[in-house]
Structure 1
Amino acid sequence: MSIFWIILGLILLVIGGEFLVRASVALSFKLNISKMVIGMTVVSFATSAPELLVSLNAALAGSPAIALNNVIGSNIANIGLVLGITALVSSISVDRSFYKLNWPAMLVFSILLYYFLYNDNQLTALEGIFLFVGLIAFLIILIRSAKKEVALEEVDESLAVVSNFKMTIWLLIGAAALYFGSEWLVDGAKDLAITLGVSDAVIAATVIAIGTSVPELAASVIAAVKQEKALSLGNLIGSNIFNIGSVLGLTSMVKTIEVTDASILNSDILWMLGFAVVLLPLILIPKKLDIGRFKGFFLVAAYGVFLFLAFRSQV
């Protein structure tokens, strides 16, 4: 039964996220926010809503391991699973801004998260504020640098003429779906952990993380098959930064997140740092600024090792 609630929760999170993104973009157009800013901020915040609700719900429900590893596992899956499988389908060209801004920012956020947790085994409200303010600073730098280039995100302009009534309905559907989806996903994950005899942290870093990455993976693979270079490494890096800065930042402002499972600091977050660090040499070794099938296979294989060790550690 726990699997049923997990699947239903994930479906509702996907639906809720989609409606929230549409409503947020429509509202932004009505507020006369530029298309580029909408794509780089509003859409990014809205697409982080499912992860935010899951982490917030888990923290308030007394499951801090799920709140933390929902983000840590998602960051690992974004690079190992999503980027790796997409590269196996079609090579991905990397923009030079990757190692000038995006990668250093992701590494700084990842190291800060590790330091905050390692320092006192918790993520406090003050540390959450620091992470969130850091995210805002990153976005300001990103927007200023993007003004010199072509807008990085595509935004559906048809949403500019959506009626207030329809926008309100989308917001209500999105909010309800996200609320119930996060509730059922967290409850199902806790039950599954008990059934399998593993910790909440393992379920969050594997089952929940893979589940929340499936929509992004599907979209990326479809884009690769169609030879549409819709997936940029910058989008995945940006997602990892948002996960730490907004999801954990905002959640810890509401409730201090404690490290209740030793594997989070001893293993999971080290894997997250490892995947972040290994990206730079992968980008710079021949063929430079390109992630081809061999590199994609390496990432997927490394992710497979992570999954194997995560469950094996519980045996």
Structure 2
Amino acid sequence: MTAYFLLLLGFIILLAGGKILVDGASGIAVKLGMSAGLIGLTIVAFGTSAPELLVSVNAALKGNSDISIGNVIGSNIANIGLVLGITGLFYRVLIRRIHIRFDYTVTLLVSILFYGLSYNGIIETWEGILLLILFIVFNFYLFKTSTVENPEVDEEIEQVKSFSWMKSIIYFIGGIVGLYFGSELLVENAVLISREFGVSERVIGVTIIAIGTSLPELITSIIAALSKRTDLALGNILGSNIMNILSIIGITAIIKPIEVSQEFINSDFLWMLGITILLFPLMRTKMQISKVEGSFLLLAYFTYIFFLL
């Protein structure tokens, strides 16, 4: 029972650490005079991906590369199938043409690139550098072309405007410490539980860890949908999938090359690409993700889990 408690504690510390890190970094950014748009595209966006990043890096350094890869693939599958599916059940997610022309297209291309780089069984350091360069280019393009205000970022900034320099720095450092210890607890106890039940680290990575680290996206997307800010709901999900591959896999591979098992190549990657491709006709049919489309996505996700287990 101790391993389960510590696993849950690791999740809680990870999510809390990510939130505290964003608050502290945003407070520092406001003091330095950064714009809301730049804070949203850099600090807030990175903060929501920080739990996945720390888990993947920690797992890779400990030799648990299946958790590193499974975390990202599983999160991307869960973001579309589980998060977008559940969000569609709560409120219709309206699709704009820019979502299909840019956000979706980039998501699909980046997913195919991820599969291609992994096909030989390892993601080398130079491939990590390539992904990180694409991550920087992607964010630069977003910043140069972004004209839509993000109410969530504005709200985030309002909350930290009163922060002193000392409080911002303490939050920033505290967030980093929380992310580190949370990822330690998560990875170590996930491995213990997988060994106890005789299941692979790959399965633990694409299910428990992936769903747990996708919780911020799920909560954010549901709140955005209920608030009728459906641009944020879909953009948050597709943007998260792009960031997961370019930044998390990129940074992790630079720190240590990531070994990719054949099971991922023969199964999980194909599911990730398949559910990403499935999203296209669901978006195009009525230019919305409603209860019907959401149900299809959830069915696809649980079908994946059924065959996985």
Q: Residue 151 of structure 1: CA displacement?
A: 2.3
Query: Does residue 291 of structure 1 match 2:285?
Result: no
1:220-267 per-residue CA deviation (whole Å, 9 max, x = no partner) reads 3344345454742111111011101111100100000011x3221111
Q: Is the 8 A contact 1:92 1:291 kept in 2?
A: yes
What is the TM-score when the length of structure 1 is the normalising length?
0.93
Query: TM-score, normalising length from structure 2?
Result: 0.94
Q: The residue matched to 2:161 in structure 1 has which SS?
A: helix
Q: Partner residue of 1:59? A: 60
Secondary structure of the residue aligned to 1:232 is helix
Where does 1:215-234 land on structure 2 (aligned, <5 Å)? 215-227=216-228, 229=230, 231-234=232-235
In the TM superposition, 1:75-94 aligns within 5 A as: 75-94=76-95
Match of 2:268 in 1: 268
- For residues 36-55 of structure 1, the aligned pairs below 5 Å read 36-55=37-56
- The answer as to whether partners of 1:40 and 1:152 remain within 8 angstroms in 2 is no
Amino acid at match of 1:63: N
Identity of aligned residues (%): 44
Larger mean CA deviation between 90-99 and 60-69 belongs to 90-99
Give, in whole Å, the separation in 1 of the partners of 2:217 and 2:236.
10
Instruction: Report the counterpart of residue 299 of structure 2 in structure 1.
Output: 301
State the Cα RMSD in Å.
1.5
Q: Match for residue 177 of structure 1?
A: 178
Q: Is the 8 A contact 1:40 1:153 kept in 2?
A: no
Deviation at 1:218, TM superposition (A): 3.0
Q: Which amino acid aligns with 1:295?
A: E
State how far apart, in whole Å, the 1-side matches of 2:150 and 2:216 are: 20
C-alpha distance after superposition, 1:133-191 (max 9, x if no partner):
11111112222221xx3224632232234111101110122111111100010011101
- Render the CA deviation track for 1:266-308: whole Å, top value 9, x for unaligned: 11111111121121111111x2x21110000000011001111
Q: CA deviation at 1:31?
A: 2.3
Contact 1:94–1:290, Cα closer than 8 Å, also in 2: yes
8 Å Cα contact 2:221/2:234 also seen in 1:
no
Q: Which residue of 2 aligns with 1:13?
A: 14
Distance verdict in 2 for CA 1:295–1:151, change over 3 Å: same
In structure 2, what is the equivalent of residue 69 of structure 1? 70
For structure 2, list consecutive stretches of 5 or more residues without a partner in the other structure.
none
- 214-223 vs 59-68, which moves further: 214-223
- Residues 174-211 of structure 1 show CA distances to partners (whole Å, capped at 9, x for unaligned) of 11111110001001110111112111001100111111
- 2:131 and 2:162 map into 1 onto residues whose CA distance is 35
Contact 1:102 1:234 in 2 (8 A): yes
Q: Distance in 1 between matches of 2:292 and 2:30?
A: 42
Contact 2:221 2:233 in 1 (8 A): no
Letter matched to residue 116 of structure 2: Y
Q: Which runs of 5+ in 1 are unaligned?
A: none
Number of aligned positions between the proteins: 305
